[in-house]
Structure 1
Amino acid sequence: MTDAANKLLRVACVGAGYFSQFQYEAWHRLEVDLAAICNKTEANAQKIADSYGIEQVFTDFEQMLDSVKPDLVDIITPPSTHVAYIELAAARGIPVICQKPFTPSLKEAEYATKLMEDAGAMLVIHENFRFQPWYSEIKRVLEAGTLGDLYQVAFRLRPGDGQGPEAYLARQPYFQEMERFLVHETAIHLIDVFRYLFGEMRSVTAALRRLNPAIRGEDTGVMLFEFENGAAGLFDGNRLADHPAKNRRLTMGEMLLEGSKASLRLDGDGRLFLRQHGEDQEREIDYEWQNRNFGGDCVFALQRHVVEHLQDGAPLMNRARDYLTNIRIEEAAYSSSELGKRVTL
């Protein structure tokens, strides 16, 4: 291996909000040089820097890029800030991981994607649900043909964190002000998971509404998807209702897959249960995963995936160009709900 290959990847991050704790903790465990952090409020950045031994703290993103000259930038800020940061990274040809939601609109997402492509720099969206270990195991089961022909899949999102005037304020207060919430911020995870597991979609039919008057956007709704392989998918989301789990943010809900040979069920504790067609008893599937960080350590898995691509040329998922399909499905869902009809993709 050459000296260049042995060199640690130099990573700089921007953002110090609630979810950033998971990304910094994951970077700290990876074999990278976590060189700098930027945040508008210096005290918040300094606290994180002290926790993870980050030597350089900035309040100006452009200054950080020019001073640190990172090999990779991790953008961990609200979506309204993403385009400006991506523009500065693109001007310097610096690869980027960008937190989701990618941007406030499809138009901005297309612009940011082309900007980075024209600069010849990688742009990956931090869509971590597909890296959750239960979905990796579900994909293995599907590829083994254990379920036979897939008929349908249903996911019931029930985090139970959306009730009352204080909803979301403790973790991510900007959630209350998002004009598009359930699909744009949360269900986009499952749209991506559905595509990862079951392939591309033909159509979407959606009915969305708001239950909590303390927020601006929708917080409950259903979406029915038709996949190109003929299977059907149902997303049934309600952020006010909950589900049985030791940690309701682990899986954020429950999934059921039904096929010609068997059914597979994911519960709120990350357990998977297989039931053969015609039988009454389920069998728990034993698989390895760590209950660490967020969502079965999916943040670490995603960031390691990107590092392996940059260092070794390993295949890469979550490129911005592919992620635009998720956003187009999101747009179709909102159109379907507004028009009251099925929308073809």
Structure 2
Amino acid sequence: MSDNLTVVCSGTGYFSQFHYEAWNRLPGATIVGVNNRNRDKAMEFAQRFNIGDYDNDLQRLLERCKPDLVDVITPPETHLQAVKIAAGLGIDVICQKPFGENLEQAQEMTRIAADAGIKLIVHENFRFMPWYRKIKQLLDENRLGEVLNVEFKLRPGDGQGPEAYLARQPYFQQMPKFLVHETAIHLVDTFRFLFGEPNNLFAKLRRCNPHIKGEDAGLILFEFQNRIQAVFDGNRLLDHCATNTRRTMGEMEIAGTHGELRLNGEGGILLREFGRQQWVEQPYEWRDQHFGGDCVFNTIEHIAAHYLTGAALENQGFEYLKNIEIEQAIYHSAHSGNLIAF
């Protein structure tokens, strides 16, 4: 445990702003350095977030700052080298998802971390969206009885036309594997967090926007060990009824023997008891700011608590490998047309 957690952040792309803001807001943590291959960009972020050091060379910066953690907020193709550098210096790593480029690379990173005796944590933030923490609480309280059916409709509405994703994350257009590798992996992890481990799956994927390389829509049917059937129905071209379609990214329904639960696009959780017609909103506290109900801060706060108070840690690299195995199975099913069992 530590009284003050020191962090170097590597990466200055669109999503990194949420990481920097969260670390700066968190008591007991300090960003001591910024890394980017573009030195001017690193300097810009150091000035913007009042950080004392920066460099375009990650190893040089880590040797100079000697942080407790390096937060890697860069594209998947950079992850392996970053983990190698940090492992060589005995520094723990938080790695943004997608966690590497493929399963083999993710496995290699976890081996490197284990051999070096460092912690390797995946920044998987969807399970830390406040509505999913509340839904987990309701499920643990058996409010729905035996859960039998689940459906999540991903509808961010940001994927239409030749300009899709360019203003925010332009590399999305060039990803050969997109919907599942970049987005649905979040829901794979969330489904496992809420419902346990799947027995099998079947997937149909397609590309609806001809201006991108990868798939941007698809259906995935999961069967879980506890008899739950769950459907992921994703299409990035379509939206849903919400003042901010990227808040929840879609809507969820969970049906059990005691009742039904709905998550809407405003973060509202409604529950209807079996045999009743009335929907009752479930109160809970959350912050409607930044991304996904402030889930980046929630994730970082959870990680920091492990170092500052010894709290249990979710989503270490070796645990996250199961998500990537499921991702690989989804692509295999879509390509072969077969049901894939685990």
Q: Structure 2 length normalisation: TM-score?
A: 0.98
For 2:104 and 2:5, locate their aligned partners in 1 and report how far apart those are by CA, in whole Å: 32
- SS, match of residue 273 in structure 1: strand
**Counterparts of 2:288 and 2:40 in 1: how far apart (Å)?**
30
Q: Does 1:110 align with 2:107?
A: yes
Q: How far apart in 2 are the matches of 1:329 and 1:11?
A: 31
What is the CA-CA distance between 1:33 and the residue it aligns to? 1.7
Alignment of 1:147 onto 2:164? no
Report how far residue 263 of structure 1 moved.
0.3
Amino acid at match of 2:146: D
Partner residue of 2:12 out of 16, 27, 33: 16
- Alignment match, 1:271: 268
Match of 2:23 among 24, 27, 30: 27
Are 2:291 and 1:282 aligned?
Answer: no
Aligned equivalent of 2:241, options 232, 240, 244: 244
- Whether the 8 Å CA contact 2:95–2:122 is kept in 1: the answer is yes
Partner of 1:73: 70
Q: State the 1:311 CA deviation.
A: 2.5
Give, as a single letter, the amino acid of the residue that structure 2 aligns with 1:71. D
Secondary structure at the aligned position of 2:252 is classed as strand
Secondary structure in 2 aligned to 1:264?
strand
Counterpart of 1:342, as a letter, is L
- In the TM superposition, residue 45 of structure 1 has moved relative to its aligned partner by 2.1
- Structure 1, residues 103-141: CA drift from partner, whole Å, max 9, x if none? 111000000011101111000001000001000000000
Percent identity over the alignment is: 51
Structure 2: distance between partners of 1:232 and 1:190: 14
Q: Which residue of 2 aligns with 1:232?
A: 229
CA distance in 2 between counterparts of 1:311 and 1:147 reads 36
Measured after TM superposition, the shift of residue 52 of structure 1 is 1.6
Secondary structure of 2:230 counterpart? strand
Whole-angstrom distance in 1 between the partners of 2:295 and 2:283: 18
Report the secondary structure of 1:162's partner residue. coil
Report how many residues are paired.
Answer: 341
Look up the equivalent residue of 1:184 and give its one-letter code.
H
How much does 1:312 deviate? 2.3
Equivalent of 2:38 in 41, 57, 62: 41
Q: Which residue of 2 aligns with 1:202?
A: 199
Q: Partners of 1:124 and 1:142 in 2: how far apart?
A: 26
> Partner of 1:307: helix, strand, or coil?
helix
1:153-192 matches, within 5 Å, as: 153-192=150-189
Match of 1:313 in 2: 310
2: CA distance between counterparts of 1:241 and 1:304?
Answer: 32
| C-alpha distance in structure 2 between counterparts of 1:301 and 1:240, whole Å | 28
Aligned to 1:88: 85
Runs of 4+ in 1 over 3 A off after TM superposition: none
1:205 match: secondary structure: strand
Distance apart, 1:47 and its partner CA: 2.4
Q: Structure 2: which amino acid aligns with 1:26?
A: A
Q: Which residue of 2 aligns with 1:193?
A: 190
User: Which whole-Å CA distance do the structure 2 matches of 1:44 and 1:129 have between them?
Assistant: 28
Structure 1 residue 287 displacement after superposition: 0.7
Give the distance between the partners of 2:307 and 2:201, measured in 1 at CA. 35
* 1:44, distance to aligned residue in structure 2 (A): 2.2
The letter for the 2-side match of 1:13 is C
1:262 aligns with 2:259: yes
List gaps (5 residues or longer) in structure 2. none
Q: Distance in 1 between matches of 2:43 and 2:245?
A: 31
| Amino acid across the alignment from 2:36 | N
How much does 1:286 deviate? 0.9
Residues in 1 aligned to 2:225 and 2:319: alpha-carbon distance in whole angstroms: 17
Q: Give the superposition deviation at 1:43.
A: 2.6
Q: Contact (CA 8 Å) 2:2, 2:307: kept in 1 or not?
A: no
Task: Supply the distance in 2 between the matched residues of 1:56 and 1:44 (Cα, whole angstroms).
Answer: 13
Which residue identity lines up with residue 307 of structure 1 in the other structure?
Answer: A
CA RMSD, Structure 1 to Structure 2 (Å):
0.9
TM-score by length of 1: 0.97
Deviates more, 1:138-147 or 1:289-298: 289-298
Cα deviation 1:225-256 (Å, max 9, x = unaligned) = 00011111100000000001111110000000
